[in-house]
Structure formats: C-alpha cells, structure tokens
C-alpha cells in the first residue's frame, strides 16, 4: 500500500495521459488533449527515472508504450464493434441506401400527344403537363399520339400509339 501512496502522482499521470491520448485519437485536429497526454506520460516516466534510476525509468517507458498500445487497440475495436460504436461521440453515415427510384415508372403505358416533332427528342403533352421525351431513334411529327414504352430515370421513351405493343 505504501508503494501506491508514494507513487500516486505517477500512477495518476500515466492513467490521465493515456486517457488524453485516446481522446485525441477520436477528436483529431484539436491536439490539446494529445499534447497534454504525451507531456503527462513523459513527466511520469521522468519521475520514475529520477526517483528509481535509469533501469526502472526504461521499464516504465516500456510499460507506458505497452499500455498505450493496448488501450488504442481496445478503443479502436470498441469504436468499430462495441459500446463506443453506439456512442453519440462518433459521426456515422446514417443514410441507408434505398433502391434507385424511378420517378416516371408509373407513366409506362400512358398516352399523350406530341407538341413538337420528336427527332428523336422533343415535347409531348401528358394530362396537361409538358414532358420531355425521346424515341428509340424514329422521327415522329408533332400532333401524333404516342405511348410511353419505358423510362430510365428521368428519361421517358415513347413510340407511336398505333404501333404494336412490345
């Protein structure tokens, strides 16, 4: 018990220093916790070196390196899979990938009248709304009734309404 009481400052410096280095790892760019933690660790090692000699100072340095490595490994693993991963401390990409939305897919099979010639693109009127449409390469005059055969994103493909359905 005397050992802990005599070295309480050194022990607290090591624990606090390792904690601050871990905090710096998750809050990059600030540097104050990391620098303060590193200074605390150097002071703890220096105090051991000054009080107990070079051998114990080197042992303390190795212990600090091992403890710091173990703490970093455990905290990174926890940040990836454990309790830290559920913490609000970390930014996450909460956007879930949705299936690509086809905004005009419900228009397939509907008919409208071309307002401009389709060479192969142009304008058609569908329920009073002007729509930009294309053909599969055919030329269609203005005023012709066309049917929407498929969509690809916002691209609406039409054919003359009197042609065979595919």
Distance CA 123, CA 156 (A): 10
Residue 141 has pLDDT above 80, yes or no: yes
Residue 90 has pLDDT above 90, yes or no: no
Helix (H) or strand (E) holding 35: helix 32-52
Q: What pLDDT shows up at residue 147?
A: 94
What does the pLDDT average to over 31-58? 90
User: Angle CA(145)–CA(147)–CA(152) in degrees, nearest 5?
Assistant: 140
In degrees to the nearest 10, what's the CA dihedral of 135, 140, 144, 145?
Answer: -20
Q: What pLDDT shows up at residue 28?
A: 63
pTM of the model: 0.48
Residue 1 has pLDDT above 80, yes or no: no
CB atoms within 10 A of CB 116: 16
């Amino acid at each position: 018990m005397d050992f802990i009481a005599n070295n309480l400052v050194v022990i607290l410096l090591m624990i606090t220093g390792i904690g601050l280095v871990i905090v710096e790892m998750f809050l990059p760019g600030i540097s104050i916790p990391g620098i303060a933690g590193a200074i605390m660790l150097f002071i703890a090692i220096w105090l051991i070196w000054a009080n107990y000699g070079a051998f114990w100072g080197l042992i303390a340095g190795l212990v600090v390196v091992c403890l710091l490595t173990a703490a970093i490994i455990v905290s990174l693993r926890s940040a990836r899979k454990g309790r830290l991963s559920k913490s609000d401390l970390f930014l996450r990409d909460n956007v879930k990938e949705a299936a690509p939305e086809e905004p005009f897919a419900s228009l397939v099979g509907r008919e409208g009248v071309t307002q401009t010639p389709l060479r192969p693109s142009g304008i058609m009127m569908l329920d009073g709304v002007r729509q930009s449409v294309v053909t599969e390469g055919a030329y269609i005059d203005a005023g012709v009734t066309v049917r929407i055969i498929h969509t690809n994103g916002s691209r609406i493909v039409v054919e003359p309404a009197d042609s065979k359905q595919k």
